[in-house]
Amino acid sequence: MAARALEFLTLTAVRSGEVRGAQWNEIDLTKKIWVVPAERMKAKREHRVPLSTQAIALLKALPSKNTGALIFPSTKPTTKLSDMALTTVMRRMEIEAVPHGLRSSFRDWVGEETAYPREVAEMALAHAVGNAVEAANRRGDLFEKRRSMMQVWANFLSTRHR
């Protein structure tokens, strides 16, 4: 389960705590969206995450889709994975990094390998964009642009692991 959680984290570029606490009732498989509630976000604001076809396939392959149940439980169905569980998977794979580093890899890839604007990448990472005035005036979350970018990211990852 920890390996699947790490894969989902990589595909979505979210923080490990968000993945480890993810529940089935936050996911809409039809609309390909995951809505992380504000109380589980670092900035305490709801975050909509577009799900690539690869992320949807991963979710559909998992057991249990009970509303309110954890998507990536530990050995106890009601207990979430520890942060160390994801790090342990990376160590077993002999990757000298931590889960949070995968977010940095995503950000580097967007900046160096794509033409997506900085703001789109930053919103995907649920970072604040711009100064306080700009943030106060921003109403949208660039969701459709992020959807496109996350699918390109998932395709890039798929070609790297064949």
pLDDT of residue 131: 53
The single residue listed with the structure tokens 């595909």 is: 11
Q: Which domains does the chain have, with CATH numbers?
A: 2-160 (1.10.443.10)
33: β partners: 28, 50
Strand ranges of the sheet holding 33-36, from the earlier edge strand across to the other edge: 27-28, 33-36, 47-50
pLDDT tens string, the chain, 162 residues long: the values are 999 999 999 999 999 999 999 999 999 999 999 999 999 988 888 999 999 999 999 999 998 777 779 999 999 888 999 989 999 999 999 988 888 889 999 999 999 999 999 999 999 998 766 555 455 445 567 999 999 999 999 999 998 765
The span from the CA of 68 to the CA of 23, in Å, is: 6
pLDDT of residue 97: 84
5-44: b (≥16 Cβ within 10 Å) or e = bbbbbbbbbbbbebbbbbbbebbeeeebebebeeebbeee
pLDDT number for residue 137: 44
State how far the Cα of 77 lies from the Cα of 24, in Å rounded to an integer: 13
The pTM (predicted TM-score) of the whole model is 0.88
The whole-number pLDDT of residue 151 equals: 98
CA distance 49 to 59: 14
Which DSSP state fits 62?
Answer: S
